[in-house]
Amino acid sequence: MAGSKTYLRPTAFVDAPFGYDGKVARLAGGLQFFAAVEIIREGSKELVPVEGIEARLGEAEQAVWARLTSPRPPLRLGERMIRLDQPQVAGILNVTPDSFSDGGRFADGEAAIAAGHAMAAAGAALIDVGGESTRPGAKPVWEGDEAARVLPVVQRLAGSGTAVSVDTRKAAVMEQALAAGAAMVNDVSALTWDPRAAEVVAKAGCPIVLMHHAGPPETMQDNPHYDRPVLVEVYDFLEEEIDKAVAAGIEREKIVVDPGFGFGKNVQHNLQVMNGLALLHGLGCPVMVGASRKRTIGALSGEAPADRRLAGSLALALKAAGQGAQLLRVHDVPETIQALRVWRGLRDTALIPG
């Protein structure tokens, strides 16, 4: 870990703060409260209670603590406001013939539009439309073909009042999709693939998702390796890309971060990221997690195919929600919404004094 940099990972989550004045803190203005922090420095880790922690922190660490405990303002997607004081669902809509998860079921525009409407009706806060597969080994798609796939879907969904984001690395596709009604950009390259991308997002003034990755889709799963703990490398990468985005004119309040589950990570890396996910709230941005139907689930369940990974997807979604993730990017919207409603019922009951 470079220099004397310190990382703060919230842990020891408790059901409710009642009776624990000064002993617990609220995580990012959400529904989770924690009683301890793992302080991570080069070559050492220390578990300390929340009570009295601020007196132990230096100036830089105080700034991280403030970000951990500050509420996240709502995201504005066009006319829609998405609250981030509770987990929200982003429905995945792959308008591609070679999607790993759905085998191109929605490559037809009308089928994709119907699926998007169904996800919105089931409770998805937004629909994330993508026209280029970024599964391991996938080849880049020409921007003209990608735009032709996504634009009719974006236009119809946005025209019906649905909040839409566009999942793309390409500035030209971003521009056209935003003009067609998309209100957010989700870039798996964190604005590093296309040199014009940051300028396009800054000019549009829209929210942007910056995702951690290690290499392009063609090679990212060729023996992924990290010299330091994977979560620390993910944190540092995202912190650097946030700074670059802000320098390019993008408002920090409009930046969402994604740890990139499955992007340049093996099974062990993915599980380590999920176990320590709360660390990423120290970046001060909402956290999106997209673990739905990923290969790690198959690897842990007898190589179950992508369409048989619902239970594992729900387990990871609830794990992320339990660590304060604000956005869950999923394929199975109704099932995830139901799981979150039960989770939310448990949280609400715990937060009623008595």
Domains and CATH numbers, the chain: 7-69 (no CATH), 75-350 (3.20.20.20)
The one-letter amino acid code at 74 reads P
Tell me which DSSP letter residue 186 carries.
E
Which residues are annotated as catalytic? 294, 329
With 0.75 as the threshold, say if the pTM is over it: yes
> Buried b / exposed e across 6-18, counting CB within 10 Å, b at 16+?
bbbbbeebbeebe
116-144: pLDDT as tens digits:
999 999 999 999 999 998 777 667 889 99
Q: Which of 336, 348, 273 is CA-nearest to residue 30?
A: 348
CA distance 32 to 34: 7
pLDDT tops 70 at residue 107: no
* Of 42 and 74, the one with more pLDDT: 74
Which residue intervals of 249-294 are DSSP H helices?
Answer: 267-275
Q: Which of 324, 313, 316 is CA-nearest to residue 347?
A: 324
pLDDT confidence of residue 128: 98
**What mean pLDDT do residues 197-222 have?**
87
Mean of per-residue pLDDT scores for the chain = 93
Confidence of residue 218 (pLDDT cuts 50, 70, 90): low
Confidence of residue 2 (pLDDT cuts 50, 70, 90): very low
pLDDT tops 50 at residue 1: no
**What mean pLDDT do residues 233-257 have?**
98
* Partner residues linked to 130 by β-bridges: 94, 167
CA distance 280 to 316: 16
Q: Which of 161, 189, 159 is CA-nearest to residue 174?
A: 189
* Of 109 and 10, the one with more pLDDT: 10
pLDDT tops 70 at residue 307: yes
* Partner residues linked to 272 by β-bridges: none
- Long-range (24+ apart) CB contacts under 8 A made by 148-152 are 149/95, 149/96, 149/107, 149/109, 150/95, 150/177, 151/176, 151/177, 151/180, 152/109, 152/113
* Lowest mean per-residue pLDDT among 40-44, 70-74, 82-86, 288-292: 40-44
**Degrees (nearest 5) of the Cα angle 287, 292, 294?**
115
Q: Which of 16, 50, 75 is CA-nearest to residue 287?
A: 75
Distance spanning both ends of the chain, measured CA to CA? 45
Token digits for 300? Answer: 């842990």
pLDDT tops 80 at residue 221: no
pLDDT confidence of residue 109: 79
Tell me which DSSP letter residue 149 carries.
H
pLDDT confidence of residue 220: 60
pLDDT confidence of residue 353: 82
